[in-house]
Amino acid sequence: MEKILIIAEAGVNHNGSLETAKKLIDVAKESGADIVKFQTAKLEALVSRYAPMAEYQKENMGREESQYNMLKKLLFSFDNFIELARYCGERKIQFLSTPFDIESIWFLNDMVPFWKIPSGEITNLPYLIEIAKTGKRVILSTGMCDTNDIEAAMKVLYKYGAKDVTLLHCNTQYPTPYKDVNLKAMKTLAELFQVPVGYSDHTEGIEVPIAAAAMGATVIEKHFTLDKTMEGPDHKASLNPEELMAMIKSIRNIECALGDGRKKVSQSEISNIQVARKSIVAARQIKCGEIFTENNLTTKRPGNGISPMKWFEILGKEAKRDFKEDELIEI
């Protein structure tokens, strides 16, 4: 199977600090992530001055203000992203950023290998058209969606030039309650849309993305931070560096353990066949010429003699020599 693509979502957890953003890149690299992802937007194109904060943002920030004022302190300039992409190159980890407006799409077009569309843009028709026009691969998050929303977005993407689309099952609540995760929806998306599927996680902890990997996710995305106690809208629902590393290690283990699906004897267990299986042995002392019966035969370890699967072939045959109790039967 292909390697699961692991996206370490830095998002806006840099709190507007280029130094913090570079530390996040370092953590993503050291944790074994394939990609570190940020968010790119022009504030005036993203949100009106009157848009309220989400409830989870109010709770995590400990105060209420407009989204505009909150994001004004969190968004980077285009020049900042050029620097971050350069630094990712130095650290040898793939740079990615999600655009939230059309100007940002075309700014990032030559900098990113594919697009990661956030759940909030799945109903933004002009945005989807511009993304599709680039012809790049698309990974589309599906939080806050039903299948009709997803189908409508897919039609737009395909109509305007997108050819390679992956869907990420997602729940857009920070953190997501376990009862709302619904990982089985990954299978529904795969069957309904016939495209690769993955999972973008907003639960607390690392269990759910690991389970998603075991269920066949081709992409896993997870927010991370340097410190969950930092001020900001997403820190509390993010992994700390140690958790990110543990999640990625576990996903890689699961990825390896999934195998190729063929049931066969593995190299590691071959030596245990003789130890764990049984052979047909003498249940008591047997004299030469005596007939083998269910009374003088039994099955015991080791398994390097006649297989018990040949039990009925052995019954009724004549012993060619004397056998001691527990001795492997020969014919």
Mean pLDDT along residues 199-216:
97
Mean pLDDT along residues 61-77:
80
pLDDT in tens, 195-206: 999 999 999 999
Q: What fold is seen in the domain 5-258? A: TIM Barrel (3.20.20)
Q: Domain segments of the chain: what residues?
A: 5-258, 267-314
Q: Cis ω on the peptide bond leading into residue 209 (within 30° of 0)? A: no
Identify the pLDDT of residue 151: 98
Q: Which DSSP category does 212 fall into?
A: H
Percentage of the chain exceeding pLDDT 90: 87
Identify the pLDDT of residue 61: 65
**Coil, helix or strand at residue 304:** coil
In the structure encoding, which two tokens stand for residue 95, read together?
């740079």
| Under 8 Å between Cβ of 139 and 119 | no
Intra-chain end-to-end CA distance of the chain, in Å: 46
E strand intervals along the chain: 5-11, 35-40, 94-99, 115-117, 138-141, 165-170, 197-201, 219-223, 279-282, 297-300
In sequence order, which residues have a C-beta less than 8 Å from that of residue 282 and are 6 or more positions away?
Answer: 296, 297, 298, 323, 324, 325, 326, 327, 329
Mean pLDDT along residues 240-266:
96
Largest CA distance in the chain: 100
In the structure encoding, which two tokens stand for residue 158, read together?
């395909």
Which of 76-85, 225-234, 262-271 shows the lowest per-residue confidence on average (mean pLDDT)?
A: 225-234
Neighbours of 117 (CB within 10 A): 23
Identify the pLDDT of residue 85: 98
pLDDT in tens, 91-126: 999 999 999 999 999 999 999 999 999 999 999 999
Higher pLDDT, 180 or 234: 180
pLDDT at 73 > cutoff 90: no
Q: Which DSSP category does 222 fall into?
A: E
Percentage of the chain exceeding pLDDT 70: 98
Which of 10-19, 59-68, 208-217 shows the lowest per-residue confidence on average (mean pLDDT)?
A: 59-68
**Helix (H) or strand (E) segment spanning residue 91:** helix 78-91
d(CA 9, CA 38): 6
pLDDT at 14 > cutoff 90: yes
Higher pLDDT, 143 or 53: 143
Identify the pLDDT of residue 138: 98
| Under 8 Å between Cβ of 297 and 280 | yes
pLDDT in tens, 300-329: 999 999 999 999 999 999 999 999 999 999
Identify the pLDDT of residue 62: 61
Radius of gyration over every alpha carbon of the chain, rounded to an integer in angstroms: 29
pLDDT at 58 > cutoff 80: no
| Under 8 Å between Cβ of 9 and 223 | yes
Question: How far is the CA of 233 from the CAs of 57, 59, 157, 175, 229, in angstroms?
Answer: 5, 8, 30, 11, 11
In sequence order, which residues have a C-beta less than 8 Å from that of residue 113 and are 6 or more positions away?
Answer: 94, 96, 136, 137
Burial class (CB in 10 A: 0-12, 13-18, 19+), 230: middle
φ, ψ at 318 (rounded to 5°) = -100, 135
d(CA 263, CA 260): 9
**Coil, helix or strand at residue 201:** strand
